[in-house]
Amino acid sequence: MKHLMEQMKVCTSRMALAALDIFPGNQYYFERINPRFPMCIDMGYRRDTEDEEELTEPCSWEPSACSNGSLLVLGASGSGKTETLKKVGRAVIHHPIPLLIIDFHGDIVFPGQTSFLLSSGFDSCIGVNPLELPSLNHRLIGLRDQWLGVTAMLKRACPHLSQNQLAIITFAIGQAFRNAGIEEAFPWTWSNQAPRLVDVLDVLRKWGEDGFDCFSAASIRGCYNAVTSVFGHPVFNRFVGLDLNRLQNACTRIDLSHVDESIRFLVAETLLRLVFAKLRGLGPIPVNPASDKERYRLMILIDEAKILTCGKGDPDSRDRILNVLITEGRKFGIGLILASQMVDHFGQDVLSNVASLLVMKPMDAREAKRNAATVQVPYEDLLALRGRGEGYFKTGGNPRAVKLQVTMG
Ligand SMILES: Nc1ncnc2c1ncn2[C@@H]1O[C@H](COP(=O)(O)OP(=O)(O)O)[C@@H](O)[C@H]1O
Ligand SMILES: [Mg+2]
């Protein structure tokens, strides 16, 4: 009864806000609505009977009833993953929890979003600067960690770089920071405007001409070429970056569908590293959150997540951003909603930590066998799924998978 009264109060305030043109996704909506009951996302209906046409009980996802707010959707192309993610995304912002959508294919579109295009085209005005220092808590996290993130990405993108060359690039990043008036030894300078990667390239160009320490000019030129090939793209070098402060009061969609495939994963990874650093800088969420709003500072939705995990390098590596987000994100208020075709697209960290799983129609017996073990359903049952939103759903509150028909809308 108390729960019902609470819901009615929220409905009334939603109706009042709608009369003022304040809808889910709108900043004021996020600020004004603070429901005290847990987020309960309607997924569709259970389809447990033999009768194909009979839809039985409603089925929902309650992130706070699980060990963490993560959901993984697996299924072949056309099985209904994107539609499911759109449905979940709409419910998340309606609740309202802020949502960040990494849209690799440009098809996660629904009302209430603010979209930002990241591409080399002139409709794209903002960028992501891997050298930005978003952490508010410099007492705990210093400059060095930010640099390590950049060199780790470079190492993965250019595996031929030698240890010497990685050292040169680290020195060059340090020099670019010093040129921008930021000294590692003087923390009060860390809040100055961070340099961009073009500034690092300027340092390398100069060292290539004048020489630097005992390093050969050829080695420095190799570094210059590597940094240019990976981070020379305009999205990494714009003056205006995405406003990370805004993310916590909005539904933000980052459209990456027009960035060249070769660097798409790096743009997404850079952005997610900045977001993680920002939320980590806010410190951990309370041990006993009073509401889901306290529990989830930001939900992150990524369709076709294999672009991020299969980019280059080992998907199991501890420094891969999805592994970082799934293992450490909960503490800092991050929920994850991911989709891809197969379990093989994810590292072990993701598979063992994800609290809720929806497995939809696989492409073939091989895919069915791979996905079946994760959801603990015989692979023949997965093969028999009809597609169009049908799947097996296993969630923290109910660890045995139930057959589910996701409803559209
Ligand atoms: N829950 C659903 N109910 C009915 N039809 C659906 C449902 N989900 C998806 N479909 C149909 O299947 C098509 C493919 O869905 P989509 O979500 O794009 O698949 P995927 O992302 O797995 O490739 C949609 O265009 C839609 O026609
Ligand atoms: Mg899709």
Confidence grade of residue 81 (pLDDT, cut at 50, 70, 90): very high
Distance 341 CA to ligand 2 centre (A): 9
| Residue 253 shares a structural domain with residue 400 | yes
The pLDDT, as a whole number, for residue 275 is 94
pLDDT at 392: 97
Task: Return the pLDDT at 51.
Answer: 62
pLDDT of residue 79: 97
114 and 204 part of one domain: no
288 C-alpha to ligand 1 centroid (Å): 38
- The torsion defined by the Cα of 342, 344, 347 and 350, in degrees rounded to 10, comes to 30
User: Which atom from ligand 1 is nearest to the alpha carbon of 303?
Assistant: 21
Domain match, 306 and 401 both = yes
Quick check: is 136 in a domain?
Answer: no
- Shared domain check, 149 and 211: yes
For ligand 1, what atom is nearest to the CA of residue 87? 1
Q: Which helix (H) or strand (E) holds 393?
A: strand 390-395
Give residue-wise pLDDT tens across range 367-376. 999 999 889 9
Q: Which domain holds residue 23?
A: 1-37
CB-based pocket (< 6 A), ligand 1: 75, 77-83, 388-389, 406-408
- 301 C-alpha to ligand 2 centroid (Å): 13
Regarding whether 367 and 287 lie in a shared domain, the answer is yes
Q: 189 and 183 in contact (C-beta within 8 Å)?
A: yes
Asked whether residue 67 is assigned to any structural domain, the reply reads yes
**Span from the CA of 388 to the centroid of ligand 2 (angstroms):** 12
Quick one: 317 and 379 in the same domain?
yes
Answer yes or no: do 31 and 48 share one domain. no
Please name the residue whose Cα sits nearest to atom 26 of ligand 1: 388
| 219 plus 262 within the same structural domain | no
Task: Work out the percent of the chain whose per-residue pLDDT is above 90.
Answer: 56
Q: Within a 13 Å sphere around the CA of 2, how many CA atoms are in the beta-carbon half?
A: 2
C-alpha separations of 37 from 32, 55, 66, 100 in Å: 15, 27, 15, 22
pTM score above 0.85: yes
The reply to whether 137 falls in a domain is no
- From 236, 260, 290, give the residue that closes a domain: 236
pLDDT in tens, 255-311: 999 998 888 999 999 999 999 989 998 899 999 998 898 999 999 999 999 998 876
Query: How many CA atoms are closer than 13 Å to the CA of 164, on its beta-carbon side?
Result: 11
Assess whether 122 and 203 both reside in one domain: no
3-class SS at 5? helix
| 279 and 347 part of one domain | yes
Q: Where are the beta strands (DSSP E) in 75-132?
A: 99-103, 114-117
Total of domains in the chain: 3
